[in-house]
Structures are given as structure tokens and as C-alpha cells.
Amino acid sequence: MRTEPSSLAGRLVLSISILLIVFWTVGVGLAIHVMRSEFDEVFDSALQETTERLAPLVVDDYFRRDEGTGPNQVAALNPGTADEYLTYQVRDASGRVLLHSHNVGSEPYPAPLRPGFWSDEDRRIFTIATVSDSLFVQVADSLAHRREATLESALTLLLPILLLLPLGMFATRWIVVRATKPVSDLRDEISMRDGTNLDPIPLQGLPREIASIPGSVNTLLGRLKHALQAERDLAANSAHELRTPLAGALAQMELLAGQLTQTEDRARAERVLEALRRLSLMLEKLLQLSRAEAGIGLSPTPVDLVGLVALLVDGFRRSNPAAMVEVELAPGLGKLPRAVDPDAFAIAFNNLLENAFRYGMPDRPITVSLGADGRISVTNAVSGPLDPDVDTYRARFKRGQTTKPGSGLGLAIVDKLMAQMNGHMSLRVLAIPGEPRRFQCELSFAGERRA
């Protein structure tokens, strides 16, 4: 299965987008890592400062309270009005909780009674010793709060990429397409050059990186145009110049053959006549081929192919009385307008009729069918062997296994002319049980579905 190559603009946009995603992700990861460290420093500093300021107050409050059997709890001023992430406990040297905040239980913190920071999976605790190391104040900060702050900050950095990345890809594609437009234009200009269009490529507006390419291509096109024109002129001029003397030689040979009385001499004369006729046919096909390569296919004025086919079939019948040609029109088909040159179509269609008459079975008719979709086919029965790949008959001088005279250029001329008319020729073999095989040439024009 053949896949279409990706465009340069598409590759650049994809590569730049992937780089943007990778760089943004790495940048966000580094930012989160630094942010987490800075958050820990800020929270630890706040925790330490809070503990140092809170210690004199809670110790003084403890000594003002009446001694009881259990730890005392400090009541909240406005319970439930705000999130409270800090909790504290006052413990004695034995670890017993003497006083604690309203938002923590009487269960002692797992932190040791040693001044400084201590952490577990859920809390970050700072401990300070007071009253000659007989009382310890411990303030705990929720690590879930720190994680939440880090997560929200990370999302704040990551969420913009969901909006900015599509916009960045769109802007990148717009910039890349504009930057690579000269390359696309140059590609289109080169792709339009073929045997019928060898005009120089415009050199204006090209960037420096590709400015030298059109000059080299134009030089090549000029040399190719000169070579092709020389080849066409040689073929056309040679064929044209040889037609008159060849026609004279053929006429003289026919007169001479009529004056010979000896059987052996007449046989030699007939062989010479046959060779001259084949040479005359070859010259005629070479002239048609040179016209086909000159580009005569298209016409600004549409032509009714139904009427043109009827006219060509009638002319072929008069030139070849032994030919049996049947024309089949699709139901309701009255006209078939196509923007083709009538001379070009006539050359192509006559070549199909001649090919079918020359190589078809003489007792079987040639069928010309015109479909409602605009397809025109010429079908004839064949008895001899055919190449398994019938498309090889498109090549010049390619003939089947036959002794019948022919130039081997008929289908090549049709194929060339159909390309000039923005059309297509399809070759196929039809096998019908109980019937001879049938060779079909089908013509379709631009805008039609091809086989």
C-alpha cells in the first residue's frame, strides 16, 4: 500500500510542537521542584516563628490554669470559620500532654522532646523547650496543606499549556506555511512541467536557500525543450518529406505490377508493394504521433462526441466496406459535450477502429459503446493470443503475436492524445462463456471516474 509523503510544513509543525511540549514539561518539572523547596523553607520559617511567638503565651496560660487530672484544651474563638492547619501541644519532660489546642487530641505527638524540626508522613513539627527544659511546646503543620499548595501551583503552570499549545501549534503552522510557501510554489511549478509545458519557472520572490534551483531547472528545461522539438521536427519533417516520393513510388510500382506477365515477377512486385504500403502506414502514424506530442488535445469550445463518433464511424465504413461496426448508445443519451479538440479525438478514435478492424475476427462486428457517464469504448473479438498484461500494448512498437501488418503505434498515439485531452485510456480483456475473448479499449475524460 502506497502512503503519501508528509509535507515539510507538517514535519516542522509536529517537531516544534513536540519540542514545545517537552521543554514546557521539563520547565514545569524544574519549577515545581524549586517551588517545593521554597515552599518548605517558607512554611518551616513560618512554623518556627509561630512556635517561638506562641511558646510564652501558652506557658503563661498553662500556669494560670488550675491543675487538673487531665490535659487542658484551649477553646477556639471562632470555631469552623476558617481552615486551621497548625496545632500545638504543651508537654512536660516525661512526655505527658499538659495543654493542647482545640483542633488536636490529647494523644502526644510522636515527635521526640528535642528542640528543632521533625517530620512524619502527615505532619511537620517544631519543638521548643521552655522553663529550664521542663516544658516543651510543639507546633505541628499539616503536610497535606503543603502538598495541596504545591499541587495547585503545579496545575497553575500546567493548565495554560492546554490553551497555549493549540494556539502555539496554529501560530506555528501559520508561520511555517508562510515560510515554506515559496518551496510549495516551486514544487507546483516543477510538477506542471511535462512534455507539453516546458516554460521557464519564474524566479521572483524566492528565498536565498532555493533561489538557485529554478535557474538550474530552467536550463534543463530549455535543453530538453530544444531536444524534444528537434525530435518532433525530425519525425514530422521526415515523414512529410517522404510521403510524396513514397506515394509516387507506390503508384509507379502498382503500374509496373500490372504490366508484368510472369507469375514470379508479379509475386516479387506484390511483395514490394506490400513493403511500400507498410512504410506509408508507418509514415502516417509518425505524423500522427508528432501531432500528439505537440499538444493538440484540449479545446475551449465543447464538442458533441455523439455526433462526432457517428460521423467518424460513417467515414470508416466507407473507407473499409468489409468492416462491421455497431454503435450502441446508452438509453436517453442525445449529446455528450466534451472540451476536446475534434481533430485530436478523430485521430485517437480512428486508431481504435483501425486497430479493432486489423486485429479483430473478420466475421465479428466491432462494437462502439457510448455510456451515460461519458465513457466511449471500442470492443472487438480476438482469436489469437494476447499478452497477460494488456497495458504493454500502450508502448510504442509493441504488437501482439500476429502476422497481420501494423505499425505498433496506434494505441501509443491514442494514449498520448488522451493524456493531451486530460483523459485516460483503459485496456482490458472480456471473457464471456461460450464466446471468443473480446479486447476492449475504453476512453474516459477529465471529471469521470476511471476504472
d(Cα 50, Cα 64) in Å, to the nearest integer?
21
CA angle 94, 100, 105 (to 5 degrees): 95
Query: Nearest Cα to 385, choosing from 396, 377, 375, 393?
Result: 393
Query: Nearest Cα to 72, choosing from 86, 58, 53?
Result: 58
Q: Residue 451: its pLDDT value, please?
A: 40
**Range 8-76+83-149: architecture per CATH:** 2-Layer Sandwich (3.30)
Q: Residue 289: its pLDDT value, please?
A: 64
pLDDT of residue 121 exceeding 80 = yes
Would you kindly state where each structural domain of the chain is located, as residue ranges? 8-76+83-149, 241-290, 296-445
Amino acid at 11: R
pLDDT tens by residue, 364-411: 888 888 888 888 899 888 877 777 777 777 776 666 555 565 566 778
Place of cell 477556639: 76
Mean per-residue pLDDT over the chain, rounded: 78
Query: Nearest Cα to 440, choosing from 355, 322, 323, 345?
Result: 355
Share of the chain above pLDDT 90, in %: 0
The DSSP bridge pattern shows strands 325-329 and 337-340 to be: unpaired
pLDDT of residue 111 exceeding 80 = yes
pLDDT of residue 81 exceeding 70 = no
| Predicted model pTM | 0.47
pLDDT of residue 77 exceeding 60 = no
Q: Residue 294: its pLDDT value, please?
A: 59
CATH class of this structure's domain 296-445: alpha beta
Q: Residue 429: its pLDDT value, please?
A: 85
- Mean pLDDT along residues 49-74: 73
Q: Residue 449: its pLDDT value, please?
A: 40
pLDDT of residue 448 exceeding 50 = no
pLDDT tens by residue, 17-60: 888 888 888 888 888 888 888 888 888 888 888 888 888 887 77
d(Cα 324, Cα 337) in Å, to the nearest integer?
26
Higher local confidence (pLDDT), 37 or 298:
37
Among 62-76, 111-125, 210-224, the range with the most confident prediction by mean pLDDT is 111-125
> Are the CB atoms for 380 and 391 separated by under 8 Å?
no
- Give yes or no on whether 8-76+83-149 and 296-445 have one common fold: no
